[in-house]
Amino acid sequence: MTITGQDKDTDAVRALQGLEDGRPSVRLRAALAVGTTPDPRFIDKLVERCAIEPEFYVRDMLTWALTRHPAPLTLPELLREVRSERAQARSQALHTLSKIGSRQAWPAITRALLSDADDGVARSAWRAAVVLVPEGEESGLAAMLATQLGRGGKETRLSLSRALVALGEAIVPALCAATTAPDPHVRAHALATQRLLRDPDIGFDFAIEEAKRIVALGVAGQEGR
Exposed/middle/buried for residue 145 (C-beta within 10 Å: 0-12, 13-18, 19+):
buried
Q: Once rounded to an integer, what is the mean pLDDT over residues 102-112?
A: 96
Question: What is the reported pLDDT for 225?
Answer: 33
Closest to 74 (Cα-Cα) out of 83, 86, 65: 65
Mean pLDDT over residues 100-115, rounded? Answer: 96
Q: Give the tens place of pLDDT for each residue, 167-222.
A: 999 999 999 999 999 999 999 999 999 999 988 888 887 788 888 888 888 743 34
Does the pTM surpass 0.85? The reply is: yes
Give the pLDDT confidence of 145-165 residue by residue, as tens digits: 999 999 999 999 999 999 999
| Sequence ranges of the domains in the chain | 36-100, 136-225
Q: What is the pLDDT of residue 215?
A: 85
Element (H, E) at 94: helix 87-100
d(CA 20, CA 16): 7
- pLDDT, tens only, 49-86: 999 999 999 999 999 999 999 999 999 999 999 999 99
From residue 90, alpha-carbon distances to 6, 53, 96, 193, 207 in Å are 35, 13, 10, 26, 31
pLDDT at residue 216 in the model: 83
